[in-house]
Chain A
Amino acid sequence: MLRFEHVSRSYGSRLAVDDLQLEIKAGQLYALLGHNGAGKTTTIKMLVGLLRPGQGVITVGSYDAVEHPREVSRLIGYVPDQPFLYDKLSAREFLQFVADMYGLSAAAGAAAVAREIERFHLGDFADRLAESYSHGMRQRTVFAAALIHDPEVLVVDEPMVGLDPQSIKLVKDLLQSYVRDGRTVLMSTHTLAVAEEIADRVGVMKTGKLMFDGRVETLRDVVEGTDGSLEAMYLAMMERLDGPAPASE
């Protein structure tokens, strides 16, 4: 469903994504891990059309992300790390606008808005202006907007930040049920416990390179000497990639 073929992107002389090769099949939940500045958000921004690859090709379904940005955005639902809402629109109006932009008919749009309001429990504040929302309320509204057109691919950048435990559970269940329906999720996160719990595959990026791509179990075979949790394996792997620690006196 998603394919990155030798994709690179630099900011001036700094290589943010370096020759990325990645394929994510339909029905998979892929968690992209890495330190700050590892290239996760750049990868996602290239996928959703906010940046263009300097080299390589990104394909979503059968569409090239650069050549057919509208068709690609129709297939993708995107939840950014910094959610945007119109302060002077209510959640209902915002969702209606997004539904209209995806070409949903009036009846289908209304049904989709009602569905997402119910799914994300937005009912209490759906008709209030977004300027009064808390971060969690904003995040839930943005999730609802990303799913309003029932996309084939859900791209989520740091999904759990600012959510309360109930909303985190809701999002985790949602992502899992999404891939069970045969659709695809690409998630970038620092919440390793969540990645371990729900991801089918994980990718570990460092300085723009994809250092690991596989199942968590595979990582256990590769990184030895830890308690087997993703967090411990991730930290051990990063330590090794950083090179030997300076000798203590």
Chain B
Amino acid sequence: MTKHRGVAESSMSEAALPIRVDANIVMRDLPSHEREGQIFWRLRVRLCMAHLRSLMAQARLRTSLVVGLSVFFWVGLFALFYGGFEFVVKHVDAPGAPYHAKTMQFIFSLFFLSLQVMLVFSSGIILYSGLYPSHETAFLLTLPTRNERLVDYRFQEALFFSSWGFFLLASPMLMAYGAVVHAPWYYFAYLPVLLAAFAYIPCAVGAIICLVLIDRLPRLRRVILGAAALAIIVIAYRSIWRTLEMTDLEALGRSWFTETYRRFRFMRDEWLPSVWLSHALLDAARRSNNNPKDLPWFESGKYLIVLVSNALFLHIVVGGLGKRMFRSSYCGLHSRPARQPRTTWGKVDRFVSAGLWMLPPTMRVLIVKDLRQFRRDPVQWSQFLIFFGLLLLYFANVDRFRQHRENPDVLTWVNIVSFLNLAVVGLILSTFTTRFIYPLISLEGRRFWILSRLPIDRDTILWGKLLFAAGGSWMSCSVLVLVSDLMLSVSWVIVALHQIVCLLLCIGLSGMAVGLGAIMPNFREQSPSKIAAGFGGTLNLVLSALYILVVVLLTALPCHFYLLAGKSDGQPKLLEPTFMNVWMLLGVGCAVLVTAIVTVIPLRRGLQAFRQLEV
């Protein structure tokens, strides 16, 4: 240590030289606000053009598929909304009448308020991921970029990614409404500006919450924030459910509607942007009542101005907060201590390994490794927890039909709802298999030299992934489906049938994701989300949805007819009760066959591709 002290002393003697500040450094003028905006705009355009060129050159099929499906979705929604609004005009009241306005105000307010809340959350989350953990942000911070410009640049992305779904949903609905009520031309002219201004407001609120939260609470652990978010969601969910709860009123009857309308008065508060938008739309869509003082375009225009001015005001607030808070919050967040992953779950791993005693030891090791990775990746388990937690909450409350047990109509509804719940579980699972299982082989490929050096058969790796995915998903999905069935009080035959279908779905979806992931690996991409968003991932998602639809329909329809069998006159002989068991068995048999096809074919092709893999 004496030597060490000597080192320090010598260092100080040399370092204590006076600093020379060169006053003659030639300083160029940094870009003005406007110039900086132009530079970033040019960057954005260049990046977008390069992306588009790359998509057209390398992924024409995927792009065509996405565009085609979006157009199909849009047209389908338009047709659906058109029919719905025609129903309102025919059965409630004509446009301009008070009941029509009231009903539409209710529908629009409910729809836009729900989307408003979602936009707040999604833009906040997307802005966070773009602004704080991003390499690009770190690079831009080392350039002479204004803080507010950086926030604005990232906010534009958050705005786009969080609101495209809103536009995809809202535009067919409002176009359909305009077409049904024969709205004047200015309704359609106002529409894009109204939607853009409206979407901007909740997105900006989400951005403000994100900036303030990260600046003020940088030290809060993600788990605490996640738990708080979950608590808020649960409380909101319970509140909504209580609002909807009506035990002593006839479901979907007049008093039910009246009571529901009354209970939802909170969403018609005049301070809500969703209400401004609803007013603007209804005013723009109605015809003038021949009173010279009644100017619908002007009334609607006033709400348009309110929306635009609020959006612009919030734009300024986001910029101001970005200027004041962004850099300090960024530095604060990146000064947090690195989280030490817990390694105290060894008992769980040993338990799982012991439970898989029937499998070869190498496969057990691979499954336990995948389990560890899942457990230590908050992105995976938090999404899993949120989606399945929300589903569980919903299923735990889905007992609204109990009081009308004896009604055959209600019984068939219960059957439909129970199968819809099963389909929802499958659809959520398909998003997980696409997002987390499909990219596994691509990600493994990057580390393939490790596995290829080990004395493990390559097939074992793929089978291990399949068992991990199918086993893990079945354990959670079967519980969810069971809760749904118990709450709906369906018969034990249906419970057993649902459990079989659930198992089939878990195997089929996992097999498809693992197989397609091995057939179409992407070793150049490091981000699993980008791998999942590629052509293979998109294909996996689309095929998964089709597969779920087929399997659920194959098993749901015989059950549906089984419940109807013998309850009405003049039905075909093949739908008589004696044939129903045959139909049900046939349905299950076909579902097993479809599952075998979607599992075996991709897996066989995947195994072949994986055996020949060279990395």
Footprint of B on A, CB under 8 Å? 1-3, 9-14, 21-23, 25-26, 48-52, 54, 59, 61-62, 69-71, 73-76, 78, 80, 82, 84, 86, 88-89, 93, 97-98, 100-104, 129, 149, 152, 201, 203, 210-215, 218, 221-223, 237, 240-241
Contact = CB atoms under 8 A, between A and B. Distances in A.
B142 A78 contact: yes
Contact of A152 (B22, B50, B328): B22
Nearest to A13: B337
A50 B136 CA distance: 12
23 contacts: A9-B335, A14-B337, A23-B19, A48-B142, A50-B331, A51-B334, A61-B21, A61-B22, A70-B145, A80-B139, A80-B142, A88-B46, A88-B50, A89-B50, A93-B46, A101-B31, A103-B35, A103-B144, A211-B8, A213-B12, A215-B14, A218-B10, A223-B7
A221 B336 CA distance: 40
Given A11-B337, A69-B327, A84 B3 contact: no
B327 to A, nearest CB: 7
Interface string B319-344: 00000000110111011111000000
B8 A149 contact: no
Given A50-B334, A70-B30, A84-B136, A213 B14 contact: yes
B51 interface: yes
Contacts of A152: 22, 25
Given A10-B335, A211-B8, A103 B30 contact: yes
Nearest 8 A/B pairs, CB to CB: A12-B337, A213-B11, A88-B50, A84-B139, A52-B331, A70-B144, A214-B14, A11-B337
Nearest to B31: A103
B142 A218 contact: no
B interface, size bucket = 35 or more
B28 A23 contact: no
Nearest to A60: B21
B15 interface: yes
B43 interface: yes
Contacts of B141: 49-50, 69
B328 A74 contact: no
B91 interface: no
A98 B144 CA distance: 10
A23 B334 contact: no
B17 interface: yes
A201 B22 contact: no
Given A69-B327, A212-B11, 15 more contacts: A1-B19, A25-B20, A49-B327, A50-B138, A50-B142, A51-B334, A59-B19, A70-B30, A74-B28, A80-B138, A84-B139, A212-B7, A212-B10, A213-B11, A222-B6
B134 to A, nearest CB: 9
Given A1-B21, A62-B21, A102-B30, A21 B7 contact: no
B142 A21 contact: no
Contacts of B19: 1-3, 23, 25, 59
Interface of B: 3-4, 6-8, 10-12, 14-17, 19-23, 25, 27-31, 35-36, 39, 42-43, 46-47, 50-51, 54, 135-136, 138-139, 141-146, 327-328, 330-332, 334-338
Contacts of B7: 211-212, 222-223, 237
A129 B42 CA distance: 17
> Which of A12, A22, A26, A88 has the most chain B CB within a 10 Å cutoff?
A88
Nearest to B149: A101
A18 B327 CA distance: 22
> Which of A51, A74, A75, A103 has the most chain B CB within a 10 Å cutoff?
A103
A149 B25 CA distance: 13
A86 B146 contact: no
B17 to A, nearest CB: 6
Contact of B31 (A13, A100, A210): A100
A223 B7 CA distance: 8
A69 B142 CA distance: 9
A25 B144 contact: no
A98 B42 CA distance: 12
> Which of B12, B19, B29, B328 has the most chain A CB within a 10 Å cutoff?
B19
A115 to B, nearest CB: 16
A88 B52 CA distance: 10
B388 to A, nearest CB: 32
A129 B50 CA distance: 9
Contacts of A69: 141, 144, 327
B135 A97 contact: no
A93 B42 CA distance: 10
A51 B15 contact: no
Contact of A98 (B16, B51, B143, B331): B143
A73 B143 contact: yes
Nearest to B52: A88
B12 A73 contact: no
B368 to A, nearest CB: 29
A9 B335 CA distance: 8
A114 B577 CA distance: 84
Nearest to A53: B331
Given A11-B336, A62-B21, A73-B142, A88 B47 contact: yes
Contacts of B337: 11-14
Contact of B20 (A26, A54, A102): A26
B28 A102 contact: yes
B499 to A, nearest CB: 46
A22 B8 CA distance: 12
A67 to B, nearest CB: 11
Contacts of A80: 138-139, 142
Contacts of A3: 19
A13 B143 CA distance: 30
A101 B25 contact: no
Contacts of B35: 100, 103
Contacts of B328: 52
A89 B47 CA distance: 7
Contacts of A211: 4, 7-8, 11
A237 B141 CA distance: 36
A149 B27 CA distance: 10
A1 B8 contact: no
Contacts of A86: 43, 47, 136
B145 A101 contact: yes
Contacts of B20: 1, 25-26
Contacts of A210: 11
B37 to A, nearest CB: 12
A51 to B, nearest CB: 5
Contacts of A98: 143
A222 B10 contact: yes
B335 A62 contact: no
Contacts of A101: 31, 36, 39, 143-145
B10 A84 contact: no
A206 B93 CA distance: 79
Contacts of A76: 142
A104 B11 contact: no
Given A23-B19, A100-B39, A75 B25 contact: yes
Nearest to A11: B337
A23 B327 contact: no
Contact of B4 (A93, A201, A218, A240): A240
